[in-house]
Amino acid sequence: MNCQEFWNAMPEFEPNAEHSHLAGCPVCQARWNHRREIEAGLRAVAADCRKLEAPARVEARLLKAFRTQSGIPERRAQRRWIPALTWAAAFATMLALGFFLMQQREPEAARSMAPHGTERASLEMPNDMEGFIPLPNTEAVQANEEMGVVHVEVPRSAMLAVGLQVSADRAGEMVQADVMLGSDGVARAVRFLD
């Protein structure tokens, strides 16, 4: 079996299964090891992210602004899961983008990231797009489209996902960023403030 046949026909391997092609091909073995390291890193990030949620004040402001704009009367019982879904969608988009962009780079040791959450959220659209970097594989921001801007604190390594250079010794530091969210809750652009 050659390399192309191996990767085309490859089922999801069982963790301890032995594969004759991997044993005889150092290129495929290195690629497989890189894949396993990325998978382990993503599992660690996912475990850390289960504890993240937006503060109650952010949820209350978002719901109030949404109800004001849409003409829906304010209800007494507020749902707490709407901002969490928005954050989950934005985080999943950034994580998928980071995974896609890091696929061709040298593997780095997995790092544990401490969740810091959000600081504030606003529904004001910036006057201009200055400093915002459009995220790959997302729709372009239209002139009349309603957008929200959320201020977050993320690891400096997140800058790699949009093609910015980050030194290895500073990759774990936290950096302030504004994430532009479309009306569908999907992240469209990011602006790093540090």
The alpha carbons of the chain give a radius of gyration, in whole angstroms, of 20
pLDDT by residue (tens digit) across 13-32?
554 445 677 788 888 888 88
Residue whose tokens read 């969740």: 115
Q: Is the pTM of this model over 0.85?
A: no
Q: CA-to-CA distance for 134 and 161, rounded, in angstroms? A: 11
pLDDT of residue 112: 53
Rounded to whole angstroms, the Cα distance separating 55 from 80 reads 10
DSSP 12-38: ---TT---HHHHH-HHHHHHHHHHHHH
More confident residue, 84 or 45: 45
Q: Are 28 and 3 in contact (CB under 8 A)?
A: yes
Q: Write the pLDDT tens digit of every residue in 128-150.
A: 567 788 887 787 777 777 888 88
Give strand pairing partners of 192.
Answer: 177
Model confidence band, residue 8 (pLDDT cutoffs 50, 70, 90): confident
pLDDT digits (tens, 9 = 90+) for 80-124: 667 777 888 888 888 888 877 776 655 556 555 545 554 444 444
